[in-house]
A and B are shown apart, each in its own frame.
Chain A
Amino acid sequence: MRLSNVSKKYESRFGLRNVSFTVDEHEIFGLAGPNGAGKSTLIKILATLTKPTGGKVTIAGYDVLRQPRLVKGLIGVSLHNSLLYDELTGMENLTYYLRLHGCRDREEAKDLVFHKSSLFGIEDRLEDPVGNLSSGMRKRLDIIRAAIHNPRLLLLDEPLSELDSEGLEYFRRFLRSAREYSTVIFSTHSLEVVEEISSRVCILKMGELAELRYPEK
């Protein structure tokens, strides 16, 4: 994944300004920075949801602006707000998204959902309507939704925001498993967590790349 001089300008201010870096395959790449630093804007640009006003972004060689549909087949995205339907069960939500990614075999889809959910310890809550789950459980389920089709690039915007200590432990476990097939980019405002979990850290400040380094462990 490569960003070259990526900018996003909103009327009078920059959400991102000339940000450039590359992320290697199977990296766990942490984006840190205070609120308004541009983390979510960057994730949305990578996810094809927001168009940059300048620069170029490629994922696995595909241009995010010119080949968005091909890029969408390679990525999995969990945003700040959940993309799950409250009235459907966890199983129904996950199989629905999995089928939109081309997995048409219902039994295979169910097995995959069950396996992924077990990584986050929620396999016994899959038949509950999502609306009945706590916000932490819903967040876990939404992260699984993003990763359900084994994307080559997993983009997680503030994945830790609703997770308790148990959820954080599951998240670590999940990342270890996810990096076998994915590159993971996640954002958080907690530098402590990002240092601990990531293989590389990017710190954004006011839309600019302030620091890019390996974490001190």
Chain B
Amino acid sequence: MKQKNGLGRIVSFLADVWEILLKDLRLEIRRKYEIHSVLIFALLSNLLFAFAIGPSNPNVREFAPAVLWMSILFISMLCFATVFVREVDKGTLDGLRLAPISAQAVLTGKTLYTFVLMSLGAVLIVPSSMIILNYTFNSDGLLVVFVLALGILDLSIVGSTVSSLTMYSESRGLMIPSLSLPLIPGTLIPSILATGKLAAGATLDAVLPEIQLNLGYLLLVSAALGITFEYVLYD
């Protein structure tokens, strides 16, 4: 039996999250085709946007953040579609439902898995976008990474929410983008604004409102999903 005291619960929770994340990443590496499709799609969408706008466009610096986040959004849709659905389709979700672990551990593990997968796509998208559209971030590198990671984490939580709510639905191909639609602007708009400011050389103070918005959104969606996910998973 697992430990029951406060610290033991936290350690046990983190260990469960780690096991789920590790298992999903291992599955992803073995399958290969899904990670490949994310990376190819990331590069392709980036290239298409870049050619549509053109590197010599005088407004490229204004378009670049939106282009960057549109590409990340597209790959996020690929990730959302698999996060829970694959477990349902293969029948392995019952393995998670039967394990003596909290629903929040399952959710956190799945959200982190989506985050890692999307971050891999972003690692390809960001530099290629900078090269193709010929722009740079004139701000602190760590701040850029933080803003991008926060935006991707927000998107991952939205994706986990939508994916979990639609996992039993036969029409989830339609449901995932439809339910994402009202949720995504809440995270995407501050991310685009912050990225635009960072490309222009902004400091932490200048992007603080957007960071606060994204953090607030992160907490809000996490809290809502944390409360409801137990019912989604078990009922």
Instruction: Report yes or no: A87 in contact with B27, Cβ–Cβ below 8 A.
Output: yes
**Known interface pairs A68-B234, A83-B91, A104-B15; A88-B23 also in contact (CB < 8 Å):** yes
| Residue A97 is within 8 A (CB to CB) of chain B in the complex | yes
Q: Which residue of A lies closest to B18 (CB)?
A: A99
Q: Contacts A87-B27, A88-B26: A97 and B2 contacting too (C-beta < 8 A)?
A: no
Interface size on A, residues (CB 8 A): 29
Choose one: A49, A51, A69, A88; the contact of B27 (CB below 8 Å): A88
Q: Count B-side interface residues using an 8 Å CB cutoff.
A: 24
Besides A73-B1, A101-B100, 20 more A-B contacts (Cβ < 8 Å) are A47-B98, A49-B94, A49-B97, A69-B102, A73-B100, A79-B94, A81-B94, A83-B92, A85-B27, A85-B92, A86-B90, A87-B26, A87-B27, A88-B26, A88-B27, A97-B99, A99-B15, A100-B101, A102-B12, A104-B15
Q: In the bound complex, what is the Cα–Cα distance between A82 and B100 (angstroms)?
A: 18
Task: Give the Cβ gap from B214 to chain A, nearest Cβ, in Å.
Answer: 32
Could you show 10 A-B contacts with beta carbons less than 8 Å apart? A47-B98, A49-B94, A70-B100, A86-B90, A96-B23, A97-B95, A97-B99, A99-B15, A100-B16, A102-B1
B 103-133 to A, binary, CB cutoff 8 A, 1 in contact else 0? 0000000000000000000000000000000
Bound: A102/B99 CA distance, A = 10
Main secondary structure on chain B at its contact with chain A?
helix
Chain B residues near A92: list those with CB within 8 A: 26
- Minimal beta-carbon separation of B145 from chain A (angstroms): 31
B-side contacts of A194, CB under 8 Å: none
Chain A at the B interface: SS class: loop
Q: Are A85 and B19 in contact (CB under 8 A)?
A: no
Which residues of chain A from 18 to 76 have any CB-CB distance to chain B below 8 Å in the complex? 47-49, 51, 68-70, 72-73, 75
Q: Which residue of A lies closest to B105 (CB)?
A: A100
Q: How many A-B residue pairs have CB under 8 A?
A: 64
B98: chain A residues at CB < 8 Å are 47-49, 72, 75, 77, 83
Contact among B15, B30, B91, B94 with A87 in the assembled complex (CB-CB below 8 Å): B30
From A51, A70, A100, name the one whose CB has the most chain B CB atoms within 10 angstroms.
A100
Tell me, in angstroms, the Cα distance from A160 to B102 when the chains sit together.
32
Q: Are A81 and B23 in contact (CB under 8 A)?
A: no
Bound complex: CA A85 to CA B92 (Å): 7
Residues of B within 8 A of A87 (CB): 26-27, 30-31
Q: What CA separation (Å) do A87 and B16 show in the bound complex?
A: 20
Q: Note all chain B residues with C-beta closer than 8 A to A102.
A: 1-2, 12, 100
Q: Counting chain B CB atoms within 10 Å of each CB, which of A69, A70, A83, A88 scores highest?
A: A83
A156 within 8 A of B: no
Chain B residues positioned under 8 Å from A77 (CB to CB): 98
Chain A residues with Cβ below 8 Å from B95 are 83, 97
Q: Is the CB of A85 within 8 A of B100?
A: no
A93-109 contacts to B (CB < 8 Å): 96-97, 99-102, 104
Bound-complex Cα distance A104 to B13 (A): 12
Quote the shortest CB–CB distance from A68 to chain B (angstroms): 7
Chain B residues with Cβ below 8 Å from A83 are 91-92, 94-95, 98
Q: With an 8 A cutoff between CB atoms, is A84 at the interface?
A: yes
